[in-house]
């Protein structure tokens, strides 16, 4: 036998055995397992009930319990409220304005970091040198 034939036979056998190994993991479900999955799907509302593909839990939401959402403790809510009041994030008008918008002098303002005097002078001299700024500006 030639070397290429032996290689081809080895590839065929390895493919055959690899396929069988993967098929062993995907054993078919028993009748009892299928029935148990169906009962679980019906109880949780994960069964299609309309032609458009809606699930039972979406169509008849009152018949199925909603999942529990993690809620905040009373202390956490009070801490968030205190911080919102301190920062002026609470609504004070019917139009939806916040306290820090209506009474801005009562709350600390965010400081905007600008350029230094030297940086502005340097940019001005560069603009004048490049001809981007007319030297004779009338006030």
pLDDT in tens, 66-121: 778 888 999 999 999 999 999 889 998 888 899 988 888 888 877 778 888 999 99
Structural domain boundaries enclosing 122: 73-130
Last residue of a domain, one of 63, 81, 111: 63
Q: Is the dihedral of CA 36, 41, 42, 48 positive or negative?
A: negative
Q: Burial letters for 80-106: b for 16+ Cβ neighbours within 10 Å, e otherwise?
A: eeeeeeeebeeeeeeeeebbbeeeeee
Residues 79 and 58 in one domain: no
Average pLDDT, the chain: 82
Contact 55, 48 (CB under 8 A): yes
Asked if the structure places residue 89 within a domain, the reply is yes
Last residue of a domain, one of 63, 97, 112: 63
Asked if the structure places residue 24 within a domain, the reply is yes
Asked if the structure places residue 68 within a domain, the reply is no
How many angstroms separate the CA atoms of 130 and 113, rounded? 27
Q: pLDDT tens across 34-61, in order?
A: 999 999 999 988 899 888 889 988 888 8
Q: Quote the number of domains for the chain.
A: 2
């Amino acid at each position: 036998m030639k070397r290429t034939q032996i290689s081809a036979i080895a590839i065929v056998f390895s493919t055959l055995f690899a396929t069988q190994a993967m098929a062993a993991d995907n054993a078919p479900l028993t009748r009892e397992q299928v029935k148990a999955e169906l009962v679980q799907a019906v109880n949780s509302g994960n069964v299609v009930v309309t032609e458009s593909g809606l699930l039972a839990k979406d169509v008849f939401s009152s018949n199925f319990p909603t999942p529990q959402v993690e809620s905040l403790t009373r202390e956490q809510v009070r801490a968030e409220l205190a911080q919102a009041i301190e920062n002026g994030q609470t609504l004070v008008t019917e139009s939806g304005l916040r306290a820090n918008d209506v009474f801005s002098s009562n709350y600390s303002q965010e400081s905007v970091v600008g350029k230094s005097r030297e940086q502005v002078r340097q940019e001005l001299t560069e603009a004048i040198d490049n001809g981007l700024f007319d030297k004779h500006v009338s006030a």
